[in-house]
Amino acid sequence: MGSCGAVVDTDYRENEASTETHDQYLQKGVRHLCERGGLTRVPTKYILPMEERPNSTIGGETNLKLPVIDFARLQGSSRSQELNSLAKACEEFGIFQLIDHGVEDEVILRMTDVSRMFFELPFDERSKYMSKDMTSPARYGTSFNQNNDEVFCWRDFLKLNCHPLSDTVPSWPSSPMDLRETVVNYSKNTNFLYLVLMEAVLESLGLMETTESGTETKDASTNTLKEFEEGSQLIVVNCYPACPEPDLTLGMPPHSDYGILTLLLQDQIQGLQIQHQGKWMTVEPLPNSFIVNVGDHLEIFSNGRYKSVLHRVLVNSSKSRISVASLHSLPFNTIVRPSPKLVDEANPTRYRDTDFANFLEYIGSRDQRMKSKSFLQSRKFTIN
The Cα–Cα gap between 164 and 155 comes to 27
Say if 84 falls within a structural domain. no
pLDDT at 211 over 60: no
Portion of the chain with pLDDT greater than 70, in percent = 83
Say if 91 falls within a structural domain. no
Number of compact structural domains in the chain: 1
Spell out a b/e string for 108-126, using b for 16 or more CB atoms within 10 Å of the CB, else e: bebbbebbebbbebeeeeb
Q: Which CATH number fits the domain that encloses residue 290?
A: 2.60.120.330
Confidence of residue 134 (pLDDT cuts 50, 70, 90): confident
Q: What is the pLDDT averaged over residues 1-11?
A: 43
* Residues 281 and 63 sit within 8 Å (Cβ to Cβ): yes
Give the model's pLDDT for residue 355: 81
Tell me which of 5 and 333 has the higher pLDDT. 333
Portion of the chain with pLDDT greater than 90, in percent = 61
Confidence of residue 363 (pLDDT cuts 50, 70, 90): low
Say if 16 falls within a structural domain. no
Give the model's pLDDT for residue 219: 46
Q: What is the pLDDT averaged over residues 146-156?
A: 85
pLDDT at 119 over 80: yes
pLDDT at 35 over 60: yes
Peptide bond into 164 cis (omega under 30): yes
Say if 76 falls within a structural domain. no
Say if 115 falls within a structural domain. yes
Range of the domain at 179: 49-66+105-195+208-378
Q: Is 14 exposed, middle or buried (0-12, 13-18, 19+ CB in 10 A)?
A: exposed
Give the model's pLDDT for residue 76: 92
pLDDT digits (tens, 9 = 90+) for 231-278: 999 999 999 999 999 999 999 999 999 899 999 999 888 899 999 988
* Residues 181 and 195 sit within 8 Å (Cβ to Cβ): no
Confidence of residue 280 (pLDDT cuts 50, 70, 90): very high
Distance of CA 238 to the CA centre of its chain: 9
The Cα–Cα gap between 117 and 298 comes to 34
Say if 32 falls within a structural domain. no
pTM of the complete model beyond 0.85: yes
pLDDT at 222 over 50: no
* Residues 294 and 307 sit within 8 Å (Cβ to Cβ): yes
